[in-house]
Amino acid sequence: MPKPVPIIPSPRHLVPSLHRPISSTRPDPPNPTLTLAQNTQMTNPQTQLPSSSNYPIPLSPPLPLISKDIELRRAMTASSRSGLWSIGRGDVVFEDEWLVVVNKKAGVYCERVLGSVVESRGEGFGSYGNPALPPEFHLANRLDRDTSGVLVITKSHKVAAKLVQAFTDHKVQKTYVALCVGTAPMWDKLRLRSGHGRSKHGVWRVYAASDVGRMLPNGSTVKNMETCFEVVRVNGQGKFKKMSGCPEDEEKVIFAEEKCEIRAREMKDEILVRAFPRSGKTHQIRLHCQYLGMPIKGDVKYEGIHEWEGKICEGHCLHAESLAFEHPVTHLPLLIEAPLPSWVSEAFEP
């Protein structure tokens, strides 16, 4: 008769279910030393968060090491410049009883523009200043520190609510101009669709279009991001065109699904593009230009060059050229354009 094979008990951490009483059907009682969230995850498997291996992987690279010091220096310079800046008549591109639209300068914070508008209107500056009314000025849109162009400020709470809703509902058509340095594209018009979200380090990154809706480490989800691009000029070749939009039947559509990689030797072409964002995500155009292999000139945060042809870039070359929307009060169509910065004309010099 063969000897019985001894049963070796399994380690507790490997097979915990073998060590529960067979007759017990209740889950383990909550551990008083754990947090509420931890107890909830233990007792209800459906609420468990995905593990780190289940989070979507960004397609765009992390911030370059060089960007930290440069961005800090630029922020300090902008803080000093903003403190000295005040609005002039030449900075206002449109104004009526309800709105004032400013051509924001690069290197000036939006909050300073708003503050200067409040100060000037309180002094009766402009045709619509009224010192008797309490200030109800609001920023309807925002631009990054180094981005210039159209900045809309509303003059009442009600108008602000209407216009902010129009931006939220994507009823405002936006046009940007960007000067990029990278690899000259093989296309004239293109629509790029991708995901957008913060990585585990809190940095905005490009994600795959197929990852839209998936959860990120910070608890948010990957959002849809879509931009249409039009090449205007490459290495001095081409003619600056009037805004024409981006007809869907003429453009190539790309869905971001693979990682992007930019090599230093490929940073050889100067490309002027127009961008038509169809969504309104943070750093959208900057991220998409990086993904396309042509980061914006001076945008060191997203792999843009810091020096070009012996000159240091003091900021990135991105300009909010125009906004088109329905007036929140009169309901008339508005197309507001900001004068182009000097780097646009310089890109056309031989």
Q: Which two tokens stand for residue 307?
A: 């020096």
CA-to-CA dists, residue 230 to 51, 86, 227, 240, 325, angstroms: 40, 34, 10, 11, 21
User: What residues have CB less than 8 Å from 38, skipping those under 6 apart?
Assistant: 31
Quick check: is 144 catalytic? yes
Residue 125: which of 88, 78, 168, 150 has the closest Cα?
Answer: 88
Eight-class DSSP state of 315: S
Beta bridge partners of 138: 154
One-letter amino acid of 153:
I
Residue 267: which of 293, 248, 300, 298 has the closest Cα?
Answer: 293
Beta bridge partners of 224: 195
Contact 284, 277 (CB under 8 A): yes
One-letter amino acid of 306:
H
Q: Where do we find the tokens 């007759």?
A: 23
Residue 273: which of 228, 325, 207 has the closest Cα?
Answer: 228
Distance CA 84, CA 87 (A): 10
Which of the residues 91, 96, 144, 146 is marked catalytic? 144
DSSP per-residue codes, 10-35: PPTTT-GGGGS-TT--SPPPPPTTS-
Q: Which two tokens stand for residue 138?
A: 């609001």
Active site residues: 144
